[in-house]
Amino acid sequence: MNSIDFEITNSKEKIQENKDSENCQLGQSSNSYAVNKWTVDKVLEWFNRKFPSYYESCKDLFVLNQITGEALLEFNSRSLSSMNIMDKNLREQILFEIAILRIRNEYEFIRRFRAQSTN
């Protein structure tokens, strides 16, 4: 490895360290918005963070239906109703938060795709 290759490798490592440090400071893992990869437990963590007053009454519904991140991204009002989440206001709030997750998930996909294509 010549000195230029070494400098480029070092620079890439420092950039990644800075990104990892920023993510830790924000309380995010590097794949926190790869929602489609979330387990049921991760979905429950998200739900508890967003809807703490509804967590106890809804957590069993998410576990029973094995709602992963991939399934969460497919939710609509009908699917929430079929899970017996009957409060229309809560369904709308959940769908709003899921819309945000969809945007973040797409952004993460694009970011990773661009990073792979530049390497």
Q: What pLDDT sits at residue 116?
A: 87
Contact indicator for 35, 104 with CB cutoff of 8 Å: yes
List, for residues 5-52, the tens digit of each pLDDT value.
445 555 445 445 444 443 433 334 444 568 989 999 999 999 999 999
For residue 33, give the 3-state DSSP assignment: coil
Number of H helices, E strands in the chain: 6, 0
Among 49, 44, 90, 46, smallest CA distance to 66 is for 44
Compute how many other C-beta atoms are within 10 angstroms of the C-beta atom of residue 73: 16
pLDDT of residue 66: 96
| CA 108 to mean position of chain CA atoms | 9
Model pTM score: 0.67
The two structure tokens encoding residue 110: 């694009």
Q: pLDDT for 78-114, tens place per residue? A: 999 999 999 999 999 999 999 999 998 888 888 888 8
